[in-house]
Chains A and B, each alone.
Chain A
């Protein structure tokens, strides 16, 4: 292996959980932050690589709690490699790969396979395991065996665990493993046959709907199960005003729940489905204006923990179908930060809390990710220009798929450099491998 040059990130504003300061950041050949102070750039040697960060924020790398990398089984839509490239272009230094693959990540063998693929990825790939065998909601998957390989988050994502007793037992069984269970909240019997939010638009469009309560009832149930078992529950991609209110009330009463929301649930409404364009089909579905406003308000209040992309690649062949026949899901990794900066009217530090250090803690990787930016820490860093405007096209960026709903939408905030364990994997907006 060729010797890596030292890297100096020059002229930026460092923002982490501790605050904000103007400083250069030097990264050593060992991949660790060597120094954070002003004047490092002028002292840099000829063999050092200097990355210009003037006008930029230098922050702990982003962490995505919810990424579909599609491997194994869905390689036409995405691979660990292509998905990780999209991740670093979006400023993410770590992603949690969802287990709804084919086969599902529900045992040690598949965990190892994805971990192996992850070693060659551009960012850190954390593997989420399934809660139940084949995500079928019936028998417990070998949580201990997977936890022993480093799995910290379990979910049947793509489906919720329907049987309350199975979920209860899973929570109890997991208590001594030091892991967290996450739930895709959706009561199948209420959601069955639905393809968009049930409301005024679904009524007009003749598309069978999914009511908000299909999500909210499972959020309520799992709050109760968390209280019963004392085990933490993480709620994935919450999308309704009701869900947000339930989580806020639960936290006020001391129940150990955490929650994420996806960028599309604070930026797009169910009205987007009026074009019958399946790029706007997603699960949970896009909700009406009032829900979008409630989700935003909760993010701004700080009562939710994370923005997670639910990056869900699908091939054009799969998406170029009538709305009801296309699979749900949209790309998210390369647009999440910009959408948050553009839409949330929050200072960068609060956006970063939602995209970096808070999700890092939920993923159980805050020892290496999410900061702080200080000497001796691993150099997982994201450098972005919070004022740069750009417009995504319909190419889908680095993803193998192109199902972005944001083509043509003007956004503010663009990733300039990303360092993963000290390696500059993105320089000036270009992936380096």
Chain B
């Protein structure tokens, strides 16, 4: 298993890996504009989605990406499976890979689940969200979207607002933005900030009104409903009042600034009901870019012939044009 590539966290990927996948995503974005958006890059490869936690959107995005690369896809979701019969994650995953799977895309409610799988399995593992830890392909697609809209990431001021503490999206995004030299400010009440957040090396604020006019990007996180039950917040209404991006606040953004959200939206909570339709909002672009970026991630993991795969962070082969991408997977 040594030397096999995985996509487990943004930190593992490093700045070079991030830039490499973002470059590859450009090529695949072009594929996605074609009349028949499909290339044979991963023909004969099998990608399994193991979703132990519901996430229709991420799963569909990965499956669309895999199919556009001509990979075969199989899906395992917790509700309909042996997991409810008490089988362990390790046994389930080993069963699936025993069928000859090249890559496992895993979503799990526990931090580190993808890391554990990468130790246990002889297949490439993509972390599609592990507990409160990371969701690296979300960060990649967010970076791709920022780059597309603002022309670059370095030096951009990004405010991430809301439930940082429980957000794998935030952990991955902060790591990616720091690697790409953006300036990050977290905006949240203290109850929704991670412990020892001072060590993250980011700006902190609890005043969204101060932050909005100076931000290039305002990134809103979904507020989980159960947060109020654990005394983290008095009410959704008060959260919206203090930390929600209302239309009124959105109008005080700089002209070029954008509003991002990983979905699904809680309209009227973290985001004003009408904000998603404003031109500053990039929500559907993020979804579209998600497919290109996940194609890039899958190709980055599986598209290099076995044996010459280099470890994360090492120098990787230059981005192929879509035509050459088609050849590489054909072995």
A interface list, Cβ under 8 A from B: 198-200, 202-209, 211, 275-276, 317, 320-325
Contact = CB atoms under 8 A, between A and B. Distances in A.
Given A198-B195, A199-B196, A276-B116, A320 B88 contact: yes
Interface stretch (B128-136, B211-219, B259-267, B305-313): B128-136
B36 interface: no
Given A199-B196, A321-B89, 11 more contacts: A205-B111, A207-B112, A208-B132, A317-B88, A320-B90, A320-B120, A321-B88, A322-B108, A322-B116, A323-B112, A324-B109
A322 B110 contact: yes
A200 B198 CA distance: 9
A190 to B, nearest CB: 12
A238 B112 CA distance: 27
B200 A206 contact: no
Contact of A207 (B90, B131, B197): B131
B134 A206 contact: yes
Contacts of B112: 205, 207, 276, 322-324
A206 B197 CA distance: 12
B7 interface: no
A199 B194 CA distance: 9
15 contacts: A199-B195, A199-B196, A200-B199, A202-B195, A203-B194, A203-B195, A204-B199, A205-B112, A207-B111, A209-B195, A211-B195, A320-B120, A322-B112, A323-B111, A324-B110
B85 to A, nearest CB: 15
A240 to B, nearest CB: 15
Interface of B: 88-90, 108-113, 115-116, 120, 130-134, 168, 171, 194-197, 199-200
Contacts of B116: 276, 320-323
Contact of B200 (A203, A321, A323): A203
Contact of A203 (B110, B131, B197): B197
A202 B165 CA distance: 11
A324 B52 CA distance: 14
A206 B90 contact: no
Contact of B111 (A198, A199, A276): A276
B98 to A, nearest CB: 17
Nearest to A209: B195
Contacts of B108: 322
Contacts of A199: 195-196
A322 B197 contact: no
- The dominant DSSP class at the B interface is mixed
Contacts of B171: 204, 206
A206 B132 contact: yes
Given A199-B196, A324-B131, A206 B168 contact: yes
A6 B132 CA distance: 62
Contacts of A321: 88-90, 116
A303 to B, nearest CB: 28
Given A276-B112, A276-B115, A206 B131 contact: yes
Contacts of A276: 111-112, 115-116
Contacts of B194: 203
A203 to B, nearest CB: 4
Contacts of B130: 206, 322
Contacts of B113: 322
Given A199-B195, A208-B132, A276-B112, A322 B89 contact: yes
Contacts of A275: 115
Nearest to A192: B230
A320 B87 CA distance: 12
Contact of A206 (B88, B120, B133): B133
Nearest to B113: A322
Nearest to A324: B110
Nearest to A201: B196
A303 B142 CA distance: 54
Contacts of A209: 195
A325 B88 CA distance: 10
Contacts of A208: 132
A321 B88 CA distance: 7
A203 B168 contact: no
B92 to A, nearest CB: 11
A55 B115 CA distance: 46
Contact of A323 (B110, B195, B196): B110
Which of A198, A202, A203, A205 neighbours the largest number of chain B CB atoms within 10 Å of its CB?
Answer: A203
B90 A200 contact: no
Given A205-B133, A206-B134, A322 B195 contact: no
B6 to A, nearest CB: 13
Contacts of A205: 111-112, 133
A49 B291 CA distance: 76
A203 B196 contact: yes
Nearest to B200: A203
Contact of B132 (A198, A207, A211, A322): A207
Among B131, B168, B199, residue most surrounded by chain A Cβ atoms (within 10 Å): B131
B233 to A, nearest CB: 16
A133 B123 CA distance: 49
A339 B143 CA distance: 47
A203, A206, A324 interface centre (most CB from chain B within 10 Å): A206
B111 A324 contact: yes
B162 to A, nearest CB: 16
Contacts of A322: 89, 108, 110-113, 116, 130-131
A207 B197 CA distance: 14
Contacts of B88: 317, 320-321
B199 A325 contact: no
A87 B112 CA distance: 33
B305 to A, nearest CB: 30
Given A206-B134, A206-B168, A325 B110 contact: yes
